[in-house]
Amino acid sequence: MSSLFFKNAQVVFPDRVATTNVFVRDGVIVDVDAPESTSADVTVDAQGRYLMPGVIDDQVHFRDPGLTHKEDLATASRACAAGGVTTFLEMPNTRPPAITMDGIRLKENLAAEKSLVNYGFYIGATSENVSDLQQATNVPGIKIFIGSSTGNLLVDEQQALEQIFAQTTLPICAHCEDETMVRENTAKYEGVHDVAVHSKIRDVDAAVTATKRAIDLSLRHKHRFHVLHVSTAAELPLLANTQPYVTAEVCPHHLFFNVDDYERLGTLIQMNPSIKSAEDNRQLWEGLLQGAIQVIATDHAPHTWEEKQAEYPSSPSGLPAVENSLALMLNQVSQGKCTLTQVASWMCDAPARVWGIVGKGRIANGYDADLVLVDMEQRREIENARQHTKSRWSPWHGTTLTGWPVATWVNGQQVYGEHGFDESVRGAKPQFDHQRGGFWATPDGIGLR
């Protein structure tokens, strides 16, 4: 039983930024216009700073269990807290893969023990586990790898995809790159060790073909579908006229890096889907601003520095981003390219609505007190040595940003601030309510319990 009072905060609401006072009791926001005389156990004077809802990163790979030399739930959740991420949704391609509810429960138990922030875990689709997908409850959704995976998590046969879309009810998300095209391109560039060919192997056509295929399945089966990490301008027209079934997201690396950066960064920006052109950067930004894309997520996928230094194509695809994603977007606000309300929509409210995360994503009465205090005047350089991810590197090393999260609360408990982390805090599994209809059915927020 505790109370928390933010006074003189510039609060980022869905439709405006307003200076007000926010009162929190027992982890829940109870008054977003509290009088200055309000008494609380803890008072935070937020004068000159902005109070945002906590970020929900709906696409991360935290490597726990099975690949914890790269990352684990303790290090990853510290990175989240430092970056203003209060809830993460993690992908199923761990070892063992999370393709049953027993596999999900294993990861939930690990998170309950280790994670400083809130957590949810997708169930992975295979060609043979439709019954497991049908039985899954209170999870964010189903993840399909239509390309870019190995073993039984790769599902690219049409019959299996039709069955999953037709016979399950949870919302689906997918990695969309056409596996046949990628394999043909791989053979074409066999023996080439220049990482720049990665964007020719995983080219625009591979992305467009798979995204078109998945959207067709979604619309025909009237099944909610989320396009992960849109990487090409050519995918944007596919998203038009797909309501109420289809939503989409973009990642910072596809907004800020392009093929011209391979010369400078090499395998550090080797990603699946691959980095594309500067024109793709520009049009993806426009897609965000115009509402064709609803969500920003990181696809945080850490590998060790040594692994990333391997000669292409032995180098793995993936990069860490979860602790810098909000700051990267705040920097865009400082440059006048977008607003704080837009950032809060893309990174907080929209993912809560897409995945039915009850009581999350907004600063409003009755919502959970997952909150981030932001200093829009702070200038800081991203440095490998200061990264909290276990991999301890960032492709943005050496980049100076204006606007940083400086304190983070999870369910009303401060987990990160100027004195570091409160390691006693643990996040919780939120409620996923898919009966609320997803993003297009919840324009006023996902709502309360």
What are the residue numbers of the active site? 299
CA distances (Å), 352 to each of 80, 201, 251, 362, 433, in order? 17, 34, 17, 9, 10
* CA-wise closest residue to 21 among 30, 254, 278: 30
Question: How many other β-carbons are positioned within 10 Å of the β-carbon of residue 181?
Answer: 19
DSSP 405-426: EEEEEETTEEEEETTEE-TT--
* Single-letter code of the amino acid located at 273: P
Give the span between the Cα atoms of 384 and 397, in whole angstroms: 6
The SS3 assignment for 343 reads: helix
Task: Give the strands of the sheet with 55-60, arranged side by side.
Answer: 55-60, 85-90, 118-121
Task: Give the strands of the sheet with 295-296, arranged side by side.
Answer: 123-124, 142-146, 172-176, 225-227, 246-250, 295-296
- Both tokens assigned to 83: 């970056």
Burial class (CB in 10 A: 0-12, 13-18, 19+), 394: buried
CA distances (Å), 218 to each of 33, 174, 223, in order? 42, 11, 5
DSSP 97-158: ---SHHHHHHHHHHHHHH-SSEEEEPEEP-TT-HHHHHH--SSS-EEEEESS--GGGB---H
Give the span between the Cα atoms of 353 and 274, in whole angstroms: 28
CB 249 within 8 A of CB 211: no
What burial letters (b/e) apply to 358-386, b meaning 16+ CB within 10 Å?
A: bbbbbbbeebbbbbbbbbbeeeeebeeee
- Both tokens assigned to 300: 């945080």
CA distances (Å), 203 to each of 174, 197, 208, 379, in order? 17, 9, 9, 36
* CA-wise closest residue to 361 among 295, 288, 299: 295
The SS3 assignment for 335 reads: coil
Q: Tell me how far the alpha carbon of residue 266 is from its chain's centroid.
A: 24
The separation between the first and the last C-alpha atoms of the chain, rounded to the nearest angstrom, is 19
Torsion sign, CA atoms 388, 391, 397, 403: negative
